[in-house]
Amino acid sequence: MRWFIRRLGFYVFAIWVAITLNFLLPRLMPGDPLGGLMQRLTPSQIQGNPGIINTFKIMLGGTHEPMWKAYPIYLRNIFTGNLGISTSNYPSHVSDVIGRTLPYSIFLVGVGFILAFILGIAVGMVAAWRRGGIVDNFVMPSLLALAAFPAFFTSLVLVYFLGLKLGWFPLQHAYDTGVTPGFNWAFLSSAFRHAELPIIVIVLVFAGGWALNMRTIMINTIEEDYVGMAKAKGLHDRRVMTRYAARNAILPPLNGFAAQFATAVGGLVFIEFVFSYPGAGWTLQQAALGADYPLTQGLLLVFAVCVIVANFIMDLLNFVLDPRVRTA
Amino acid sequence: MTGVLEGGVGSPSAVGQETLVELRELVVDYVLGGRHIRAVDHVNLSIGSGEIVGLAGESGCGKSTIANAVMQLLRPPAQVTSGQVLFRGQDLTKLSTEEVRQFRWQNVSMVFQSAMNSLNPLMRVGDQFVDMMKAHRKISKSDALARAATLMELVGMDRSHVRSYPHELSGGMRQRTVVAMALALGPELMIMDEPTTALDVVVQREILQRVQDLQQDLGFAVLFITHDLSLLVEFSNRIAIMYAGEIVEAAPSDELFRRPLHPYTVGLMSSFPSLSGPLERMAGITGSPPDLGNPPSGCRFHTRCSHCDPAGRALYARQTTERPVLREVEPGHFVACHLLDTP
Amino acid sequence: MGGPDRERAGRRRLRLPGWLKLLLGNPKSRGGIIVLSGIIVVAVIAPWIAHANPNDFSLIDSRQSPSFHHLFGTTDQGSDIFSQVVWGARSSLIIGAAAALLATVLATTLGILAAYSGGVVDDIINLITSVFLVIPTIPLLIVVSSYLHSRSGVTMVLILGLTLWGFEARILRGQALALRNRDFILSAKVAGEGTWRIIFSEFVPNMISRIAAAFVLVFYIAILTDAGLEFLGLGDMNHASWGVTMYWAQVNSSFLQGEWWPFLFPGMALALTVAALVFILAGVDEVSNPRLRKDRKRGVIRSLFVGGRGARVALDAKDPA
């Protein structure tokens, strides 16, 4: 129980750091933060977005005021969900933009990474159990080689061959033009189609890492006495592999999953960029290029919170799966 | 304890006993890189049903390898280079995977060296009984758990511990649990590999006493492996002494205690102080165990033997070049030593 | 061997440092080292092998597929991609190495300090590390980069180095913890050596292999991240580099028009470099943990029978004389 509170406390602290970091970053620019930001904007942007100065005021919590006064205002804004108005999507609120795009990313990540994890762990488990077998000698190195390639490169290769040349998959965006988003079949099936290739990319890029990790740990776990005992008890080979070896071996990678999640989010940005898939990652990149600071900040915060939440879920999972943690 | 049995090492057991396990000229090598390390060198050993056989020797002499060989648990880089492991006359190495799987635990079970680590830390103790029972016979989970609870009581533990996780039990309790597990399927032979090394003396005693009582009631055979000769003398019917992968002496236990013949055995006997006897100067054995990858020539013990003296001329020549053969110097008492060979 | 003999012997043979011998012995790291050396050589001789200035553009030559004159084809602006890739090697390697150096120094110092000092210092450093680990690096770098007025190589090295030190700090701390109670540390402490001196002259030499591994790891991550940022348009866009080439290609929809060369060549170069480093890392891992090594004498087929089932009787029973 105590451990629980400690973890929770840490996560709250981390969120606070993320929020504060958001606050500090624009102010690390020399000179007046608002002035510094205004310098990045083009005249057309200012003309097209009359409320832009106001937006930045909200974002910065007041312009010419000293930091210690602006900070509480900023905090209050955050907690009331007021993340400012997106300059590139004027007059939409940042929260609206995020609300529109985040679900797509979550879908991609949810399906993709979990599939990658399952595939990777399974391959790693079998590769370690049957050293020198087919999985160990062929499947593992292939996955590893794939993982060595940068995510966006693999995406491009797949887009080129499977999308462009073979026409098997749609190449861009989240759904076909002409389809209206909503809970209708046309949209959902189209969205699904468009997500297939990005998901395949995610699986291929990330499964290798999991497989290697699992294999290494599994190899060590196999040497453990309780695995030897399980074999000695005359249990079926498969049961020893799963219930005794893998079940124990999976705990470190599971913890690693949480740590990897931050990397995963990074990879997501690239994949979305290549596919012009309008998720939160693609939006972040576009916003960064277009100097849409309210949006970038809002997205950074959201990303950080997502990673933190994922970590927390993993901690809970660990708690459930490992009785030793419970007693500690 | 049952009386002295006459099962000779290397020969079929005497009248009234059937041979359960027989090792014939067993050779086990560890292949590391290009080197062959011979852990078990032409060992002959037989265990009769209901017999308690002790196997003693220093660390690294090959005792655990023998235990693993009987259970068919040897893994690379270990390999059985030649020889046979017979159970009731049947060559175990010729069995199919499924037959070996069924054989394990049902006919021969094992109590591992570190009970602490023998139990899966993520499973409740009772569940570890259940999966073992279900692997060998059709039994429902609740029946299996009930039987597990009974077994726990048999070894002196509270029934409720069936629901415990291994880390919630003390060292002694875990050891008892593992013993209970080893008896679950009523095996004919139970191998105990250094079962009490990690425990304090009092707990050691209790557990061994318990095992002894159970052995008398249930009549299973025991292969007791340890470096602690004093335990064996009390506990077993017959003792075999191993050195550098070979058996150098074997005899009924009280005979061995009274008249140890091999210099190594003599050294071992004098290495254990008696808790109750008078204070004595300990002799010990000089030197250290040989490198099995490059063992001494001739008699492997000659480098540490106080009876090996270059002045001995002919004898010395034999000691350094010729491997001594295990011979029956007295009924039931086997020794491999040049000192006792009259050419 | 006497004096003059020894000298002669030393001059005759090439003396490789022990660690290099070890790494060259392992096939994985050997392959990685060879490939990496190749790439370094290419980067060094760039001025001689790249005939064109990578930043030149000529509209006549634009969007050409690979030919003899332009080995890797041209961009939409007519720049020679081969030159860009070759010069880009310099940029990636230098920025990657510099950022890795910065991150490794940070990770080593903070990690060991945390392990050695324990207590409050440890808690604080752990807290900082944990927070850094939990905030996703790519989005952070994207946002930081978007704020920067100028994105020069130096700036990139700084922001990369300051964000990528976290995970290695944790690992190095773990290793340092194992060393903390060893005798040589305790005796140095008792002898009155200062904290920093102990960290750098006692801990570091004993952890050098792990620190080197950390460096290699951060090296390839830095290269990837740097190229990645450039690919997104948020890095130093004014010089020849792999990421920049691919950025322009993506933005100009070259890909969708079937022009694969602006992607393939820089991408392959990047992938090759990263793969080389990954293999070096894998080799280092195997060398330090023998259990991971496969016994190369056993064939694949034999392993299929023996592996995973526990050893059974050897298929050949030769007496090992």
Residues belonging to chain B: 343
pLDDT digits (tens, 9 = 90+) for C166-203: 888 988 888 888 888 787 788 888 888 777 887 788 88
- Name subunits touching C (3+ CB pairs < 8 A): A, B
Matching residue, tokens 């304090």: B200
Residues C311, B38: C-beta atoms closer than 8 Å? no
Instruction: Classify burial at A183, counting beta carbons within 10 Å of its beta carbon; exposed 0-12, middle 13-18, buried 19 or more.
Output: exposed
Residue C169 lies inside a defined structural domain of this protein = yes
SS3 C122: helix
Together in a domain, C176 and C317: no
Residues B74, C320: C-beta atoms closer than 8 Å? no
Phi, psi of A223 (to 5 degrees): -75, -10
Provide the pLDDT for residue C96.
92
Together in a domain, C200 and C190: yes
Could you please report the per-residue DSSP string of C205-266? HHHHHHHHHHHHHHHHHHHHHHHHHHHTT-S-TTS--HHHHHHHHHHTTTGGGT--HHHHHH
Phi, psi of B84 (to 5 degrees): -130, 150
* Distinct helix (H) and strand (E) counts, chain C: 15, 0
Residue B78 in contact with partner chain A when CB distance is under 8 A: no
Together in a domain, C220 and C304: no
Residue C145 lies inside a defined structural domain of this protein = yes
Together in a domain, C312 and C186: no
Provide the pLDDT for residue A87.
65
Residues A234, B123: C-beta atoms closer than 8 Å? no
**Residue of chain C with shortest Cα separation from A28:** C147
**Residue of chain C with shortest Cα separation from A137:** C300
Together in a domain, C279 and C294: no
Provide the pLDDT for residue A135.
77
Together in a domain, C183 and C319: no
Instruction: Using an 8 Å CB-CB cutoff, list chain A residues near C139.
Output: 265-266, 269, 281, 284, 299-300, 303-304
Residue C28 lies inside a defined structural domain of this protein = yes
Q: Are strands B52-56 and B221-226 parallel, antiparallel or unpaired?
A: parallel
pLDDT digits (tens, 9 = 90+) for C172-182: 888 888 888 78
Residue C100 lies inside a defined structural domain of this protein = yes
Contact of C76 with C253, CB cutoff 8 Å: no
Residue B72 in contact with partner chain C when CB distance is under 8 A: yes
Q: What's the CA gap between B323 and B338, in Å, rounded? A: 9
Q: Which of A289-298, B192-201, C209-218 has the highest mean pLDDT?
A: C209-218
How many Å is the Cα radius of gyration of chain B? 21
Six-digit token string for A242: 């799963």
Residues B36, C295: C-beta atoms closer than 8 Å? no
Provide the pLDDT for residue C98.
94
Count of domains observed in chain C? 2
Residue B11 has pLDDT above 70, yes or no: no
Residues A228, B112: C-beta atoms closer than 8 Å? yes
Residue B114 in contact with partner chain A when CB distance is under 8 A: yes
Together in a domain, C320 and C181: no
Instruction: Classify burial at C297, counting beta carbons within 10 Å of its beta carbon; exposed 0-12, middle 13-18, buried 19 or more.
Output: exposed
Together in a domain, C37 and C167: yes
Structural domains of chain B ordered from first start: 16-107+188-270 (3.40.50.300), 118-186 (no CATH)
Together in a domain, C311 and C282: no
Q: How confident is the model at residue B312 (pLDDT cuts 50, 70, 90)?
A: confident
Rounded to whole angstroms, what are the CA distances from B66 to A28, B253, C99, C281? 71, 20, 55, 39
Q: Which of C134, C143, C149 sits opposite A25 (nearest CB)?
A: C143
Segment 91-120 of chain B within 8 Å of chain C by CB: 93, 97
What CATH number is given to the structural domain containing C98? Answer: 1.10.3720.10
Of C10 and C77, the one with more pLDDT: C77
Of C106 and B75, the one with more pLDDT: C106
Instruction: Classify burial at A68, counting beta carbons within 10 Å of its beta carbon; exposed 0-12, middle 13-18, buried 19 or more.
Output: exposed
Residue B297 in contact with partner chain C when CB distance is under 8 A: no
Phi, psi of B222 (to 5 degrees): -135, 135
Together in a domain, C237 and C314: no
Residue B280 has pLDDT above 70, yes or no: no
Residue C311 in contact with partner chain B when CB distance is under 8 A: yes
Phi, psi of B240 (to 5 degrees): -120, 135
Q: How confident is the model at residue C100 (pLDDT cuts 50, 70, 90)?
A: very high
Residue C313 lies inside a defined structural domain of this protein = yes
Residue C289 has pLDDT above 80, yes or no: no
Domain encompassing residue C303: 290-321
SS3 A85: strand
Number of Cβ within a 10 Å radius of residue C201: 11
Could you please report the per-residue DSSP string of B171-194? HHHHHHHHHHHHHTT--SEEEEES
Residue B304 has pLDDT above 60, yes or no: yes
Cross-strand partners of B47: B21
Six-digit token string for A298: 């809002």
Q: What's the CA gap between B148 and B128, in Å, rounded? A: 9
Residue C6 lies inside a defined structural domain of this protein = no
Contact of B21 with B15, CB cutoff 8 Å: no
Distance from CA of C26 to the nearest CA of A (A): 16
Rounded to whole angstroms, what are the CA distances from C168 to A320, C112, C215, C217? 28, 11, 9, 9
Residue C25 in contact with partner chain B when CB distance is under 8 A: no
**Residue of chain B with shortest Cα separation from A226:** B118
Provide the pLDDT for residue A55.
62
Contact of B116 with B174, CB cutoff 8 Å: yes
Cross-strand partners of B84: B24
Distance from CA of A183 to the nearest CA of C (A): 30
**Residue of chain B with shortest Cα separation from A131:** B76
Contact of C81 with C73, CB cutoff 8 Å: yes
Q: What's the CA gap between B31 and B29, in Å, rounded? A: 6
CA A120 to mean position of chain CA atoms: 17
Distance from CA of C313 to the nearest CA of B (A): 5
Provide the pLDDT for residue C280.
87
Contacts by B318-322, CB closer than 8 A, 24 or more apart: B320/B296, B321/B297, B322/B298
Lowest mean pLDDT among B5-9, C146-150, C248-252, C263-267: B5-9
Residue C13 lies inside a defined structural domain of this protein = no
Residues of chain A with pLDDT under 70: 1, 27-67, 85, 87-91, 148, 150-152, 163-184, 259, 327-328
Together in a domain, C233 and C309: no
Together in a domain, C319 and C180: no
Instruction: Using an 8 Å CB-CB cutoff, list chain C residues near B76.
Output: 295, 298, 306-307, 311
Residue C73 lies inside a defined structural domain of this protein = no
pLDDT digits (tens, 9 = 90+) for A236-272: 888 888 888 888 888 888 777 776 787 788 888 888 8
